[in-house]
Amino acid sequence: DTGVSQNPRHKITKRGQNVTFRCDPISEHNRLYWYRQTLGQGPEFLTYFQNEAQLEKSRLLSDRFSAERPKGSFSTLEIQRTEQGDSAMYLCASSLLASYNEQFFGPGTRLTVL
């Protein structure tokens, strides 16, 4: 499978715990994005990497959230001290720099905070 992959697919955690999600983009894609989607809403942008550089962050990305993309390959999104409001689908997408920014999404990680 050469598409975007995300792990885990589901995560249930208790409030206050830390969680980490992983995204593996399409292999030749140098741009990687994280979005969050709640029920009945479109995905909302969180952050964006071009290769290993984090170039853009949304105001939605509070200081409890951190994302990395070491060596410009896979990326991780960590949420510290989770809150019930963090419950959502976390989506990763990737695209090619030399394109019209067509972004291809992974299957997502569904987070439930109890």
Partner 1 sequence: QKEVEQNSGPLSVPEGAIASLNCTYSDRGSQSFFWYRQYSGKSPELIMFIYSNGDKEDGRFTAQLNKASQYVSLLIRDSQPSDSATYLCAVVGQAGTALIFGKGTTLSVSS
Q: Which two tokens stand for residue 90?
A: 């976390």
Residue 56 and residue 7: Cα distance in Å, rounded? 23
Residue 70 has phi, psi (to 5 degrees) of -65, 135
By CB under 8 A, name the binding residues for partner 1: 31, 33, 35, 40-45, 48, 55-56, 58, 89, 91, 93, 100-108
Q: Taking the CB of residue 43, how many other CB atoms lie within 10 A of it?
A: 19
Shortest Cβ 17–partner 1 spacing (Å): 24
Closer of 40 and 70 to partner 1 (Cβ):
40
- When the beta carbons of 80 and 107 are compared against partner 1, the nearer one is 107
Name which of 82 and 95 has its Cβ closer to partner 1. Answer: 95
